[in-house]
Amino acid sequence: MSSTVKDMLATYPSDLGDIDQAKLTACIEECIACAQACTACADACLSEGMVGDLTKCIRTDMDCADICTATAAVLSRHTGYDANITAAILRACAMACKACGDECAKHADMHEHCRICAEACRSCEEACNELFSALS
């Protein structure tokens, strides 16, 4: 199946090196999906009647969305590639996804948006860890 991320990587005019392009594609796509889920979850939390009880969830959603967005952007750039920066942002993204997934899971029984967000965070965390392992 074709995806915009995969198609864009295929058109890159220079050699991408020996990076696993399937894992890179999956990681970028999971970061984008997670950022969207976290943004939507934070917004849904703000609409809940008990918004005060969801302050930490909203904060972790917003942090995770920002970090996932930045990670997708960094992973999409290859000119002047720096493996140390890539490794650092992958570790940070996996950490943010774990924290957000854990927090959303606490509310998943009451709020479907938190359940969906926790799943997206887990998928993104796994993709970041897989790409990080492939870089080592």
Residue 57 domain-assigned (yes or no) = yes
Rounded mean pLDDT, 4-20: 73
Q: Please write the tens of the pLDDT for every residue from 19-29.
A: 788 999 999 99
Q: Using the predicted structure, report yes or no on whether residue 73 has a pLDDT greater than 60.
A: yes
Question: Cα–Cα–Cα angle for 6, 12, 16, nearest 5°?
Answer: 90
Q: Is 52 exposed, middle or buried (0-12, 13-18, 19+ CB in 10 A)?
A: exposed
Q: Using the predicted structure, report yes or no on whether residue 12 has a pLDDT greater than 90.
A: no
CATH code at 124? 1.20.1270.360
Rounded mean pLDDT, 52-72: 96
Rounded to whole angstroms, how far apart are CA atoms 132 and 33?
19
Residue 63 domain-assigned (yes or no) = yes
Residue 1 domain-assigned (yes or no) = no
Could you tell me the pTM of the whole model? 0.91
**Domains of the chain: total:** 1
Q: What is the pLDDT of residue 135?
A: 85
Q: What is the pLDDT of residue 19?
A: 79
Which H helix or E strand runs over 76?
A: helix 55-76
Residue 124 domain-assigned (yes or no) = yes
User: Which structural domain range is residue 119 located in?
Assistant: 20-135
Residue 51 domain-assigned (yes or no) = yes
Rounded to whole angstroms, how far apart are CA atoms 42 and 92?
20
Q: Is 20 helix (H, G, I), strand (E, B) or coil?
A: coil
